[in-house]
C-alpha cells in the first residue's frame, strides 16, 4: 500500500484472497501476526497468516506484501511454504486482539476492541498498528448500546497480560461468511482459552457444524468446556453419526450424563448408532436420510431435496418406505435418485419410479464391502436395512472417506506437510 493511502481495518482482511504478481491466487488471509514492543512504540505488524489451497497455513512477511487494495493482497511472488508456528512473542490480531477489554489511558474507562487498523510507514515496508475501534462499557448482553469511537493505539492500555473472560463477538463476526470447515480450521489454530471463548459465542447450530469438522481432540476439549445443558443442545444439533462418534470419545460417566440431558428421540438415535461396530455400515450411517411414503409425489420429493441444511450426498436421493417414515421405518421399498426426479412430472408418485433393483446393505456390513458397493454402482449414498426390511439409515460417501483416510487426516490438513518451523 502506497504511503498516504487510507488505513486498513483488519476485519476487512479476513478471508481476502492473496495473489502473486501474475494474478495466480496463493491463498486467503486468515489472521495477522503482530509483536508488542516496549518504549512507547506501537505494535509492529510482522506478517499475514495465509491459508494456501492445501489448507496449510503459512507465514507471509509484510516485506513480501506489495499491495492491499480492492479486497485483495498482492505479494512479491516469493512464498515460503513451511507451516506457520506462532512464537511466544507474537500475537494474532484477529484471534487475540478483537473483543479484548482494555482501558482508555486518559479516563481509565473500560472499552472493548471491535477492530484494529494498520498502516504502512512512509517509504518503508514496515507496518504498524495505529488505531483501535472500540466500544465503551464492560461488554456483555448490553454491550451494543455503548458508544463507539476510534482511538490511537497509545490511547489504550492492557495488552501485556492474557485476559480472563475475553469476549468473541467481533471475531465471530469475521467468520460469518466462512464454511464450517474453514471456521474449524481457524479455531484449531487458536489457543485453548481463545478456542473456548469463540465456541461459547457461536450459536448451537453453527457450533455443531464446526465441531463436525474438527479433529477429535478439539471436539472433546470444546464439548468438555461447555455447560452440560448446552453441550447436550449442541449434540442434538449435530448429525447423529457425528454426535455418536464424539460421545464415544468421552468417559462413560460423561457420555451417559449428556445422553440423559438430550431429547429422548435424539438420544435414542445416538444410542442406536453407538450399538454398532465402528467400521460397519451401521456404525457409519446417518439415521436422518430423506424418507418418503409411497403416496408422496415428485413435487414432495423435490421440496425435501431443496432443504438447505442437507449435505449434497443426502440430497442426491430419497428413500421410499411404508409408515412409519422415521428410522427404523416400515418396509423399505427402494430409492429414487435426484436425476430421475428431474425427469418425471411433479404429480407422479414416487412409488411409480422407485428403483428397487439394488440390494440394500445390512448394518453389520464391513467397511471394505461398503466402499466396494459405492464404487461398483457409482453411488454417493446407500441404504442400510435390517432383517425385517426396515430402513435404519444411509451411509454417505463422505462418511466412508472419513474412515478410509488416516485417523489424523484432519490434523494433517490443518497443519500441512512438514515439521520444520518457518524462517523469517
C-alpha cell recorded at residue 212: 463436525
Q: How many CA atoms lie within 13 A of 291 on its CB side?
A: 24
Beta bridge partners of 75: 65
d(CA 393, CA 284) in angstroms, rounded, equals: 9
Contacts within 8 Å (CB) and 24+ apart, 319-323: 319/289, 319/290, 319/291, 319/292, 319/383, 319/391, 319/394, 320/291, 320/292, 320/293, 320/294, 320/296, 320/350, 320/351, 320/354, 321/291, 321/292, 321/293, 321/390, 321/391, 322/293, 322/294, 323/293
Q: What is the pTM of this model?
A: 0.65
d(CA 167, CA 162) in angstroms, rounded, equals: 13
**Can you say whether residue 374 is alpha, beta or left, with left for phi > 0 and alpha for psi between -120 and 50 degrees?**
alpha
Cell 470444546 identifies what position?
222
Query: Computed from CA positions of residues 12, 13, 15, 19, in that sequence, does the dihedral angle turn out positive or negative?
Result: positive
Name the burial class of residue 29, with classes exposed (0-12), middle (13-18) and buried (19+) by CB atoms within 10 angstroms of its CB: buried
C-alpha cell recorded at residue 45: 505488524
Q: How many CA atoms lie within 13 A of 278 on its CB side?
A: 10
d(CA 135, CA 36) in angstroms, rounded, equals: 22
Supply the pLDDT for residue 207: 93
d(CA 235, CA 247) in angstroms, rounded, equals: 9
Alpha carbon 411 to chain centroid, angstroms = 14
Name the burial class of residue 142, with classes exposed (0-12), middle (13-18) and buried (19+) by CB atoms within 10 angstroms of its CB: exposed
Cell 484432519 identifies what position?
410
Beta bridge partners of 120: 127
d(CA 135, CA 370) in angstroms, rounded, equals: 55
Supply the pLDDT for residue 305: 94
List Cβ neighbours of 143 (8 Å cut-off, separation of 6 or more). Answer: 112, 135, 137, 167, 169
Q: How many CB atoms lie within 10 A of CB 405?
A: 12
Q: How many CB atoms lie within 10 A of CB 304?
A: 15
**Can you say whether residue 215 is alpha, beta or left, with left for phi > 0 and alpha for psi between -120 and 50 degrees?**
beta
Supply the pLDDT for residue 144: 56
Over the chain (424 residues), what is each successive 10-residue block's mean pLDDT?
63 92 91 81 89 88 84 85 81 91 90 92 79 80 70 83 64 80 87 87 89 91 92 92 92 94 92 91 93 96 90 93 93 95 95 92 95 92 95 92 71 44 38
d(CA 247, CA 232) in angstroms, rounded, equals: 11
Selection from 64, 75, 62, 11 nearest residue 33 by Cα: 62
Q: How many CB atoms lie within 10 A of CB 266?
A: 19
List Cβ neighbours of 382 (8 Å cut-off, separation of 6 or more). Answer: 281, 360, 361, 370, 373, 374, 394, 395
C-alpha cell recorded at residue 362: 445390512
Cell 491463498 identifies what position?
27
Amino acid at each position: 500500500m502506497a504511503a498516504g493511502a487510507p488505513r486498513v481495518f483488519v476485519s476487512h482482511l479476513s478471508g481476502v484472497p492473496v495473489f502473486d504478481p501474475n494474478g495466480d491466487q496463493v491463498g486467503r488471509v486468515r489472521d495477522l501476526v503482530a509483536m508488542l514492543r516496549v518504549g512507547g512504540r506501537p505494535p509492529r505488524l510482522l506478517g499475514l497468516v495465509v491459508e494456501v489451497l492445501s489448507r496449510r497455513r503459512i507465514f507471509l512477511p509484510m516485506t513480501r506484501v506489495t499491495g492491499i487494495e480492492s479486497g485483495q493482497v498482492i505479494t512479491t511472488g516469493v512464498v515460503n511454504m513451511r507451516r506457520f508456528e506462532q512464537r511466544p512473542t507474537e500475537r494474532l490480531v484477529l484471534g487475540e486482539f478483537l473483543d479484548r477489554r482494555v482501558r482508555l489511558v486518559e479516563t481509565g474507562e473500560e472499552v472493548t476492541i471491535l477492530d484494529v487498523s494498520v498502516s504502512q510507514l512512509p517509504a518503508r515496508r514496515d507496518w504498524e498498528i495505529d488505531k483501535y475501534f472500540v466500544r465503551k462499557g464492560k461488554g456483555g448482553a448490553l454491550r451494543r448500546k455503548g458508544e463507539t469511537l476510534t482511538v490511537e493505539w497509545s490511547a489504550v492500555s492492557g495488552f501485556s497480560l492474557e485476559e480472563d473472560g475475553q469476549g468473541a463477538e467481533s471475531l465471530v463476526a469475521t467468520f460469518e461468511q466462512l464454511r464450517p470447515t474453514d471456521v474449524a480450521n481457524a479455531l484449531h489454530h487458536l489457543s485453548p482459552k481463545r478456542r473456548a471463548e469463540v465456541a461459547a459465542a457461536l450459536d448451537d447450530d453453527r457450533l455443531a457444524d464446526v465441531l463436525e469438522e474438527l479433529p477429535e481432540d478439539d471436539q472433546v476439549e470444546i464439548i468438555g468446556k461447555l455447560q452440560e445443558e448446552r453441550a447436550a443442545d449442541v449434540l442434538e444439533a449435530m448429525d447423529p453419526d457425528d454426535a455418536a462418534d464424539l460421545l464415544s470419545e468421552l468417559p462413560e460417566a460423561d457420555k451417559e450424563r449428556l445422553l440423559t440431558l438430550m431429547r429422548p428421540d435424539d438420544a435414542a438415535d445416538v444410542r442406536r448408532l453407538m450399538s454398532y461396530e465402528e467400521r460397519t455400515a451401521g456404525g457409519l450411517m446417518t439415521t436422518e436420510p430423506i424418507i418418503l411414503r409411497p403416496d408422496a409425489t415428485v413435487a414432495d420429493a423435490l421440496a425435501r431435496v431443496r432443504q438447505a441444511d442437507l449435505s449434497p450426498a443426502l440430497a442426491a436421493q430419497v428413500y421410499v418406505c411404508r409408515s412409519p417414515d422415521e428410522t427404523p421405518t416400515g418396509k423399505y421399498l427402494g430409492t429414487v435418485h435426484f436425476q430421475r426426479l428431474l425427469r418425471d412430472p411433479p404429480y407422479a408418485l414416487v412409488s411409480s419410479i422407485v428403483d428397487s433393483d439394488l440390494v440394500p446393505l445390512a448394518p453389520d456390513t464391513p467397511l471394505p464391502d461398503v466402499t466396494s458397493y459405492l464404487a461398483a454402482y457409482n453411488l454417493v449414498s446407500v441404504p442400510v436395512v435390517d432383517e425385517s426390511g426396515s430402513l435404519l439409515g444411509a451411509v454417505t460417501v463422505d462418511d466412508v472417506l472419513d474412515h478410509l483416510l488416516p485417523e489424523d487426516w484432519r490434523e494433517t490438513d490443518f497443519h500441512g506437510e512438514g515439521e520444520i518451523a518457518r524462517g523469517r
